[in-house]
Amino acid sequence: MELYSCDTMVALGNSTKSGNTIFAKNSDRPVTEAQPLVVIPAEEHKEGEMVRCTYIEIPQAAHTYRVIGSKPYWIWGFEHGMNENNVAIGNEAVWAREPEEKENGLLGMDLLRLGLERGSTAYESLHVITGLLETYGQGGNAAVGMEHRYHNSFLIADPKEAWILDTCGRRWVARRVQDTAGISNCYSTEEHWDEESGDVKEYAYANGWISREVPFHFAKAYSAMSLKHRAAHPRYMRLNKLLKQNAGNITLETIRGIQRDHFEGEILEPRWSPADGLHVSICMHAMTETSSKTAAASHVELIQDKTPVWWNAFAVPCMSVFAPYTVFSKLPETVSNAGAKYSKDSAWWQFERLQYAVETDYCRHMSWWRREADQLEHAFWKQVEEAGIPGDQQIKENTERMLQAVQSAYERIAADEQVSGDPQHQEMNETAKMRAEIL
């Protein structure tokens, strides 16, 4: 069974406690695909210079902004990121009635990074992406070891506004966010949008995807109602429900809780474990080798004319630690280092290995690890609250402290020879063991 998932969310100032825009994303990728955090400096480029993206080369811009982004190790683009202008973007894989382009073009992740490198506002980044989309298309395999092609949706935010961009091939529609919004792996634009590529309705009518006799509904017209879409819709509904419930009082802590959500209190209560069976959730755990899992997560409070803190977590958020960085940080090598296989000098792989260990008996190990992780996360939070954005030395010390805690937790679980005899954990134990073979 193949299930792919991501969730991106935003709350504008009219819905947050601070009055500032908050942006966040859980990036879900194929199992064991490393996703480090990188910083790309601003740069001036010569006329005629080209930039090599994942599959194709395109003309480079005269100037590119400094960006911080979370990227699959082998891909040029980002799953989510932010630039020096406080523009943040996340993308989602979506599937349409229209087949994906067969020729290689720009991946959605490439478009996202290009939007950050070339956009000074959310609106400008929106049109950087749509202009490149119309010129070069979106195409290419977006996974290692399997065929994984898709169209893309984007959520683009800055301190003043946010836009949702739904694309299908080289066509697109965009709408301005009014308060809170979350997107998942399904089209979310319905009967109203603010801008479009030009022939969105006529193309759908010509293909018989929707009747002229009913109100035009973009998602209903363009969506492929496949398993992938059906798996995304419950997350999409849950995400927006949680955002609406908290509107007016949303904080980074609220968003952090949403990013760790497994439908607690709605589908499964009082306990939850990945051993209970495959269950899509915002905090996504993989139960098979062909499904996806949350590989990295981030959130940021975007404040006009102020450098914001970019909070980043490796692996699934419920087992991870959100640590503070900035777009102007010099990142430790361990934070930006990750490849196809386990490496002890990679923060991403250290968290991934710990996740495998925890999932051998999730409820038992999480009972103590989450407490330790929360203490560490709270210490980082107090540090930012008292001293402001972290400097390079502070980030280095934070990283060392965090990875020491992860190593100690892994060693504690490895030394514990007791294996749960609870039958409901058996499937998870076997899956975790299988994944651990790559280490």
For the stretch 253-264, what's the b/e string if a residue is b when 16 or more beta carbons lie within 10 angstroms of its beta carbon? ebbbebbbbbbe
Q: Examine the residue annotation and report whether 6 is marked as an active-site residue of this protein.
A: yes
- Token duo for residue 2: 């193949």
SS3 342: coil
SS3 94: strand
Q: How far apart are CA 432 and CA 439, in angstroms?
A: 11
- Altogether, the residues listed in the chain come to a count of 439
Residue 147's CB is within 10 A of a number of other CB atoms, namely 7
Please say whether the dihedral angle defined by the alpha carbons of residues 382, 413, 264 and 283, taken in this order, is positive or negative: positive
DSSP letter assigned to residue 73: T
Q: Judge if the upstream peptide bond of residue 72 is cis by omega within 30 degrees of 0.
A: no
Q: For 84, left (φ over 0), alpha (ψ -120 to 50), or beta?
A: alpha
SS3 412: helix
Q: How far apart are CA 389 and CA 105, in angstroms?
A: 38
- Token duo for residue 303: 């404040």
Select which of 6, 53, 168, 318 is catalytic: 6
Residue among 78, 83, 88 at smallest CA distance from 110: 78
Residues forming beta bridges with residue 70, ordered by sequence position: 37, 80
Q: How far apart are CA 113 and CA 108, in angstroms?
A: 9
- For 38, counting Cβ atoms within 10 Å of its Cβ (0-12 exposed, 13-18 middle, 19+ buried), the class is middle
Kindly list the catalytic residues.
6
